[in-house]
Amino acid sequence: MYIGIDHGTTALRFASDTAEFRIPREKATGFTTAALEQICPVEEIEGIAVCYSMGDAITAITDIRKVKNRGIITREGAGKHTGGGTRVYDEIAKSGIPAVVIPGIHRGSPTDPRFKAYSHQTSPEKLGIAYAVQQALGDTFIVSDVGSNTVSLLVTEGAIAGAFDACVFAPGTTHGALDVDAIRRIDRGEETANEAFLHAGVHHTTPDDLQEATLALWAAMECASLRLLAPDAPVALAGSQAPAIAAEVSRLIRTPVTIFDDWVAARGCARIARDVFEGGVKSVLGLGVVR
pLDDT in tens, 101-145: 999 999 999 999 999 999 999 999 999 999 999 999 999 999 999
pLDDT at site 76: 65
Say if residue 77's pLDDT is above 90.
Answer: no
Buried b (16+ CB within 10 A) or exposed e, 135-150: eebeebbbbbbbbbbb
Are 102 and 124 within 8 A, CB to CB?
A: yes
Task: List the one residue out of 4, 2, 1 whose CA is nearest residue 264.
Answer: 4
Beta strands in 137-183 (DSSP E): 141-146, 150-156, 159-164
The Cα 173–Cα 238 span in angstroms is 14
What's the pLDDT at 167? 92
Contact 203, 173 (CB under 8 A): yes
Find, among 164, 184, 167, the residue nearest to 175 by Cα.
167
Computed over every residue of the chain, the mean pLDDT equals 96
Query: Among candidates 54, 267, 235, which has minimal Cα distance to 146?
Result: 235
Contact 141, 134 (CB under 8 A): yes
Residue 270 pLDDT exceeds 80: yes
In this model, does residue 162 exceed pLDDT 70? yes
Q: How far is CA 99 from CA 63, 103, 123, 278, in A?
A: 6, 13, 18, 12
Work out the pLDDT band at 81, boundaries 50, 70, 90.
low
Bridge-based pairing state of the strands 99-101 and 47-50: parallel
Q: What residues does each domain of the chain span?
A: 2-290
Residue 79 has pLDDT above 60, yes or no: no
